[in-house]
Amino acid sequence: MQTPSLPSKIDPWRLAAESGRLEGSLALAALPRLIAELNRTDGVVSVALVAGIDPRGVRFIGGALRTGVELVCQRCLGRLRLALDVTVSLGLVHGEAEAGRLPEEYEPLLVPEGAIRVADLVEDELLLALPQIPRHDDARDCEANGYRTPDRVEHDQPFATLASLLRDSRRSH
Ligand SMILES: [Zn+2]
């Protein structure tokens, strides 16, 4: 199967006017702000976006981005693989005032006249989809990486042992 190629730049206004499509894949390695957050830099993101003008006259870019990323769990510092399946629903706007008038289902995409980089668009959407504090959903996955949950740590308290030793030594005098 041949992967359709993505243009490196698009004019979103023109793409919407022409009901264009953006389909293909991008290497994660081409997204520097994203890979700064990741544990691995290989992999690709598949892009399936369409542009158009909705019945209310909103110029939009919508569709889906799919990829798998590897992060570092902030609880156990182990590897955390995450599938990102991002729904994109962007309404094109020229400025803030226009953004305020967009129907709720759209996130504003501020685009002055001219071209934007497809990689920037994809990267921004993926960055928004990353968890702020990546963690395994199941704490047992963290324990498998050597993490001990706080209630278990309380079971052996080195200071409690020390305190009882001190008490014993005082008693013997
Ligand atoms: Zn973990």
Digit-coded pLDDT (tens) for 6-22: 999 999 999 999 999 99
What would the mean pLDDT of 56-76 be, rounded to a whole number?
A: 96
* 100 CA to centre of ligand 1 in angstroms: 39
H or E element, residue 79: strand 79-93
User: How many domains is the chain partitioned into structurally?
Assistant: 1
- 169 domain residue, yes or no: no
pLDDT score of 172: 53
Rounded distance from Cα 68 to ligand 1 centre (Å)? 17
Residue 159 in domain: no
* Residue 55 domain flag: yes
Give the tokens for residue 126.
Answer: 């993926």
The pLDDT of residue 1 is: 45
CA of 148 to the centre of ligand 1 (A): 10
Residue 90 placed within a domain:
yes
Is 144 inside any structural domain?
no
> pTM value?
0.81
The domain of 55 spans 9-137
In a domain, 152, yes or no: no
Cα 35 from Cα 18, distance rounded (Å):
33
Instruction: Confirm whether 77 is domain-assigned.
Output: yes
* Tens of pLDDT, residues 127-170: 999 999 999 999 999 999 999 877 655 555 556 555 655 666 65
> Is 154 domain-assigned?
no
Cα-to-centroid distance, 135 and ligand 1 (Å): 5
Alpha carbon distance 119, 35 (integer Å): 13
